[in-house]
Chain A
Amino acid sequence: MQIDETIDAIELYYAQGWTDGLPVVPPTRAKVQAMVERSGRAAGEVVAELPPQGGKATVERIATNAVMAGCLPEYMPVILTALEAMLETRFNLRGVLCSTHVSTPLLIVNGPIVQALHVNSGHNVFGPGWRANATIGRAVQLALVNIGGAQPGVLDKATFGHPGKYTYCIAENEAASPWEPLHVERGFQPTDSTVTVYPAEAPHNINNHGSQNARDLLTVVADCLSILGSNHMYLGGECFLVFSPEHAATIAASGWRKQDVRAFLYEHARQPVRLLQVGGMYGTETHRNLWPRWVNRADLEALVPPVRRAEDLSILVAGGAGKHSVFLPGWGSRSVTRKIPI
Chain B
Amino acid sequence: MWEQFQRLGLLLPIDEDIAQQRRAAPALPTLHGAVAGFLDNRKNNADKLLARIRDVLQAQFAFADIVWRSKFIYSRTAAPEILEALAERCQFVITAIGD
Contact = CB atoms under 8 A, between A and B. Distances in A.
B4 A12 contact: yes
Nearest to B75: A95
B8 A5 contact: yes
B5 A61 contact: no
B14 interface: yes
A189 interface: no
Interface residues of B, number: 24
A26 interface: yes
B11 A1 contact: no
A56 interface: yes
Interface size class for chain A? Answer: 35 or more
Given A32-B11, A92-B75, A285 B22 contact: no
Interface in B42-61: 42-44
Interface of B is mostly: loop
A14 to B, nearest CB: 13
B11 to A, nearest CB: 5
A305 interface: no
Contact of A55 (B8, B18, B77): B18
A69 to B, nearest CB: 10
B75 A26 contact: no
Contacts of A99: 75
Given A8-B8, A12-B10, A53-B22, A61 B15 contact: yes
Given A8-B8, A28-B10, A29-B9, A92 B15 contact: no
Query: Which 5 A-B pairs rank lowest in CB-CB distance, beginning with the nearest?
Result: A55-B15, A283-B44, A55-B18, A146-B13, A95-B75
